[in-house]
Amino acid sequence: MTLSADSQAAIAYLRSATAIRERCGMIFAAAEAGETPHFVLHRDRLPDAARYVAETIRENYPTLAIPYHSRWRHFAAGGRDRWVRLASGLADRSREDIARIRFDLAVTSVLLDAGAGEAWGYREPASGERLSRSEGLAVASFDMFVSGAFSSDSKDPLRADAAALRHCDERRLAAGFQVAADNPLVGLAGRAALLRRLGDALGADEELFGASGRVGNLFDYLFRRAAGRSLPAPEILDAVLRGFSSIWPGREAIDGVNLGDVWRHSAVRTADRTTGLVPFHKLSQWLSYSLVEPLEDAGIAVTGLDRLTGLPEYRNGGLFIDSGVLTPRAPGLLRIRHAVGAEPIVEWRALTVILLDRIADLVRTELGLTAERFPLAKILEGGTWSAGRRLARERRPGGVSPVLLDSDGTVF
């Protein structure tokens, strides 16, 4: 199918970080005017929230030596850095080959990282420790990767390719994630379907993924685009959205092209065909952040990280509800369960994106750091995500989200 120039332009725009900020900014402007239908914005409470985040950062990282917010942090859950241990056995591999392996691992693990639910946990065979939520998902996916679950070549288990991923069914994933009647994982079928669609996507773009349809070949594509060994962060997101946009469940589309993590809100009004549409691309940006370290360790300087946005997920979003920056307009909003595309959820996520930008400046002032030294990717890690989890644990048993969500395993 050949797309018109108008359709191509609309799709390209909605797949950009610029569009995320602009569309979320429209909803934020409505909130500032008191016109959002679902949440009330209390800007006067943002400085207190910033102080809480700064306090959390000082507790987590007393020296302020903060890494990027990425999947690699979860691989070190429980104080055991599983990637470092695995990498120690790869001394005979080239720097580029190690980067390909890290791309394989990061992509498969991030795509399995939507919320696990309150009842699920993973008992790590190597340590006997039971891990839940993002850490549990990370370690479970790490163990599956190391076992060769995503590779079609038994002699080269540390890879993820189309041939293997196309056959990743619910049964295999359930075994890897120790799913049982008393250990249910939210969105299991959705996760398995996502990996199968990933396999199809890998086979559909040889420029990105090579003739072998391997995730790790995306490193080579980005390496070729790094002029002077320097790569703007939006280039990573562009490649991720191009390569993986087809894997998301069918939602909003333009001329049959799936837009992914894009939803509708009544406060977004434009004079073109994209009116009402609000992009977030949360998992794609999470993945983009997670590819920065493999690129940098391979000698590529990644620039312009703050051109990506904060991640609109329930820890960052929960921070603003639990700190009183956002309050529901209807008291019952937090007592009912919402689909991820429901307008209250779209509004919450959009306000979270802009509030993360606003709180970042306040946190830097609290800590006496510049944006160059303390980009958004470090504030998220240090940071807003940890502060959101900490507040949730203080306020609700199990530290669950303040908003009840029906997740299909592909957004939250």
- For residue 183 the two structure tokens come to 């250990």
Domains of the chain by residue range: 1-69+252-281+306-412, 70-215
Q: Can you give the pLDDT at residue 247?
A: 87
| Exposure letters 364-376 (e unless 16+ CB within 10 A, then b) | bebbebeeeebbb
- For residue 339 the two structure tokens come to 């689909």
Helix axes 343-367 and 46-60, enclosed angle (nearest 10): 60
Return the H-helix or E-strand segment holding 250.
none
Q: Tens place of pLDDT for every residue, the chain, 412 residues?
A: 689 999 999 999 999 999 999 999 999 999 999 999 999 999 999 999 999 999 999 999 999 999 988 899 999 999 999 999 999 999 999 999 999 999 999 999 998 887 778 899 999 999 999 999 889 999 999 999 999 999 999 999 999 999 999 999 999 999 999 999 999 998 888 889 989 999 999 999 999 999 999 999 999 999 999 999 999 999 999 999 999 988 887 689 999 888 989 999 999 999 999 999 999 999 899 999 999 999 999 999 999 999 999 999 999 999 999 999 999 999 899 999 999 999 999 999 999 999 999 999 999 999 999 998 899 999 999 899 999 999 999 999 989 899 998 876 666 5
Predicted TM-score (pTM) of this structure: 0.90
Return the H-helix or E-strand segment holding 1.
none
CA dist list (Å): 280 to 107, 131, 273: 18, 28, 18
CA separation for the pair 301, 292 (Å, rounded): 9
What is the tens place of the pLDDT at every residue in 284-343?
A: 999 999 999 999 999 999 999 999 999 999 999 999 999 999 999 998 999 999 999 999
Helix axes 314-322 and 343-367, enclosed angle (nearest 10): 80
Q: Which residues contact 93 (CB under 8 A, 6 or more apart)?
A: 101
Q: Which of 218, 274, 270, 261 is nearest to 349 (CA)?
A: 261
Q: Can you give the pLDDT at residue 409?
A: 61
Q: Can you give the pLDDT at residue 251?
A: 80
8-state DSSP, 380? I
- Residue 377 — left, alpha, or beta (φ > 0 → left; ψ -120 to 50 → alpha)? alpha
Q: Can you give the pLDDT at residue 245?
A: 84
3-state secondary structure of 7: helix
- For residue 14 the two structure tokens come to 């909605």
Q: Are 289 and 249 in contact (CB under 8 A)?
A: no
Q: Can you give the pLDDT at residue 234?
A: 94
